[in-house]
Amino acid sequence: MASLSRETRRYVFEENPHIFGSERIAKMATLEFPRSQNVSVDVVSADSDARREPDYGDVDLILTDPPYFDYIAYDELSAFYRAWLVNSDLAAKPLHPPATGDRVKEFGTRLGRALWIAASRLKPTGLLAFTYHSSNPDAWSAVGIALDEAALRVTALWPVLTDPHMGHHGKKGSCEHDLVVVARPSLIAHSGPAPFEGTDDPAEAWVADAARVLQLGEADRMNLRLAYETCSPRWGVLDVP
């Protein structure tokens, strides 16, 4: 039996091989994560909208999955189950657009505040990543407000298949791909050109490049285009020593 120091965790996706190599041919994906006895890793689940431990400047990576603006109201759907708890109140005020007023600005400002507090915990070399999808222009406009509020620049943008044919979770024509938005504080990443800048239609060029290896429906094409149009003006480049 291999020693713990050499043991790896292996994840194999055989039924849905949606990972593509440099030759852009779909193939089974095997990801290996070597374990080391000399590295200590702490994983903490924390409220991104509150100043709590861990201490600021000590975090390498922050992952979060905010509501998608016109999202499924999980706070309401969970009311039946929470009724059986001793304390059935929600942990915090749900993040969703208000019924009246400037819905985009309110949602974007609150999301930006949460991202800013979360990003303030990062090490200088750390990064923050979140997933998001919507074919609603207002939803991505709110993300732009949030990135500005949090003083973040986008350094990577990845479409990932997350909800294929989820009939109970969506409807015909819904987005099947999330965008993984990777961001760093603007003090670390300076403004720079986004991919495909300089072409006649950079957003369309980026979507077309993704469509070479991904099966994109109409909603996903709009989702990717809106994501690019939101993130490209806020693109950041790291200084490589």
Residue 140 has pLDDT above 60, yes or no: yes
The verdict on 125 and 144 lying in the same domain is yes
The verdict on 17 and 49 lying in the same domain is no
Give 2's pLDDT tier (boundaries 50, 70, 90). Answer: very low
Whole-angstrom CA distances from 45 to 52, 84, 133, 159 are: 11, 24, 23, 25
Domains contained in the chain, number: 2
The verdict on 133 and 16 lying in the same domain is no
The verdict on 31 and 49 lying in the same domain is no
Residue 138: strand, helix, or coil: helix
The verdict on 79 and 155 lying in the same domain is yes
The verdict on 83 and 137 lying in the same domain is yes
The verdict on 49 and 24 lying in the same domain is no
The verdict on 163 and 127 lying in the same domain is yes
pTM recorded for the entire structure:
0.76
The verdict on 184 and 75 lying in the same domain is yes
Q: What is the pLDDT of residue 166?
A: 54
- Give the mean model confidence (pLDDT) for residues 172-190: 87
Stronger pLDDT, 47 or 231, i.e. the higher one: 231
Residue percentage of the chain with pLDDT more than 90: 39
Residue 17 has pLDDT above 60, yes or no: no
Q: What integer best gives the mean pLDDT of the chain?
A: 78
The verdict on 102 and 31 lying in the same domain is no
Range of the domain at 228: 44-238
Long-range contacts of 52-60 (CB under 8 A, 24+ apart): 54/121, 55/121, 56/120, 56/121, 57/121, 57/122, 57/123, 57/124, 58/121, 58/123, 59/121, 59/122, 59/123, 59/126, 60/122, 60/123, 60/125, 60/126
Q: What is the pLDDT of residues 33-91, one digit of tens each?
A: 566 667 777 777 777 766 555 555 688 899 988 888 876 666 677 777 777 776 666 65
The verdict on 92 and 123 lying in the same domain is yes
